[in-house]
């Protein structure tokens, strides 16, 4: 395994990533309530992945506006104070040799919800710190309050918010940007016919349903210039009849590539409730393969990738250009270092304090 491509650097535009082991965005619901600011939790949580050898560490879904938060405890990047709070995180990641990425997001109709470990479920009422959600159509996600349909001025505002947050992210030291168009959040809601029943230029045909995402990609690319890598996270399928699926994802990914995106982070689900998802080791890797082949685009794979051998096989077999790990990184933030040790790969970025762990005995 010493020749595995898992530890081969990957260059995207002006950024060289030291390996293909990337940390997926994972919501922590631990920002200072109401102001979206980072805390020591985020520094230690994200910093441990950089210390642990990951090539790219992507910050959780970070709201581009207050109403774009999933919960009142979500991170935000709609003002300069929030950007300054991220700086110590990006500085630490860089000091460990990792690239810093951020996922920019708007929750749409799935906004203003209680965080997962709260005793309550569903939508947080306005008088308890919540707010009115918005969406492409006034269709509620099951168990949540109905959103208000965005008008054209509101849609323009969403695009402007993505651009403003992207520029703040660059100022905060982030190397890589990702737009969140998955898991039933706003951009995904526009893409899927199950949540988008509009009859204007943002609904109906695939071209129309993809219009908001493509506007966001194009506007962010124009704003940040040619050097910054831009990823898009897709849910490749809704796992539902007549919903968003792999073929539509492949088509829109190719359009997004032409609009300025570079790599596509392929997940699935999140836009509908009560669907059957065939969860198992690497269960979303075939979706990434499909999008790569049919869209002719670079992809990363995510979803129950839990062992070094499994991660290496995905990359070595050409099934994805990189792997993203979530829960396994929570169990072992030093997964990348462990993978190098188990696979017999010599790397030069073991922290000096941990160098003894690289020894074979």
> Which residues are part of the catalytic machinery?
185
Q: Bridge partners of 15?
A: 12
206/190 Cα distance (integer angstroms): 10
Look at the block and give the residue holding tokens 């073991």.
350
Pairing relation of β-strands 15-17 and 299-302?
unpaired
Nearest to 19 by CA among 305, 308, 232, 336: 336
Nearest to 33 by CA among 111, 89, 115, 105: 115
Q: Evaluate the CA torsion angle 264, 245, 324, 134 in order and state its sign.
A: positive
Residue 198, classified by CB atoms within 10 Å of its CB into exposed (0-12), middle (13-18) or buried (19+), is middle
* Residue pair 39/32 in contact by the 8 Å Cβ criterion: yes
80/85 Cα distance (integer angstroms): 9
CA 143 to mean position of chain CA atoms: 24
* Residue pair 131/89 in contact by the 8 Å Cβ criterion: no
Segment (H or E) for 105: strand 99-105
């Amino acid at each position: 395994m010493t020749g595995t491509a898992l530890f081969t650097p990957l260059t995207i535009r002006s950024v060289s990533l030291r390996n293909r082991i990337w940390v997926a965005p994972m919501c922590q619901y631990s920002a200072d309530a109401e102001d979206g600011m980072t805390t020591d939790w985020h520094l230690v949580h994200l910093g441990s992945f950089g210390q642990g050898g990951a090539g790219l560490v992507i910050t959780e879904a970070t709201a581009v506006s207050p109403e774009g938060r999933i919960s009142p405890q979500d991170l935000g990047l709609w003002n300069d104070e929030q950007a300054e709070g991220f700086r110590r995180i990006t500085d630490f990641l860089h000091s460990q040799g990792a690239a810093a990425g951020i996922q920019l997001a708007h929750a749409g109709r799935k906004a203003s919800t209680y965080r997962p470990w709260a005793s309550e479920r569903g939508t947080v009422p306005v008088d308890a710190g919540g707010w009115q959600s918005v969406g492409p159509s006034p269709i509620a996600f099951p168990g949540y309050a109905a959103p208000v349909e965005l008008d054209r001025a509101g849609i323009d505002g969403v695009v402007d918010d993505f651009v403003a947050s992207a520029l703040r992210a660059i100022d905060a030291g982030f190397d890589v940007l990702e737009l969140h168009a998955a898991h039933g959040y706003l951009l995904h809601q526009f893409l899927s016919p199950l949540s988008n029943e509009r009859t204007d230029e943002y609904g109906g045909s695939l071209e129309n349903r993809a219009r908001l995402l493509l506007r966001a990609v194009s506007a962010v690319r124009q704003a940040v210039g040619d050097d910054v890598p831009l990823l898009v996270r897709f849910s490749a399928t809704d796992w539902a009849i007549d919903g968003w699926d792999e073929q539509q994802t492949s088509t829109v990914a190719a359009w997004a590539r032409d609009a300025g995106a570079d790599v596509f982070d392929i997940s699935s689900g999140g836009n509908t409730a009560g669907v059957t998802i065939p969860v198992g080791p690497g269960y979303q890797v075939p979706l990434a393969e499909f999008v790569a082949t049919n869209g002719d685009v670079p992809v990363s794979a995510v979803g129950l990738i839990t062992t070094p051998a499994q991660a290496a096989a995905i990359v070595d077999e050409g099934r994805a250009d990189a792997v993203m790990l979530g829960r396994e990184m929570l169990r072992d933030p030093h997964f990348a270092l462990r993978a190098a040790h188990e696979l017999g790969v010599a790397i030069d970025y073991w922290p000096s304090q941990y160098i003894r762990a690289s020894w074979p005995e």
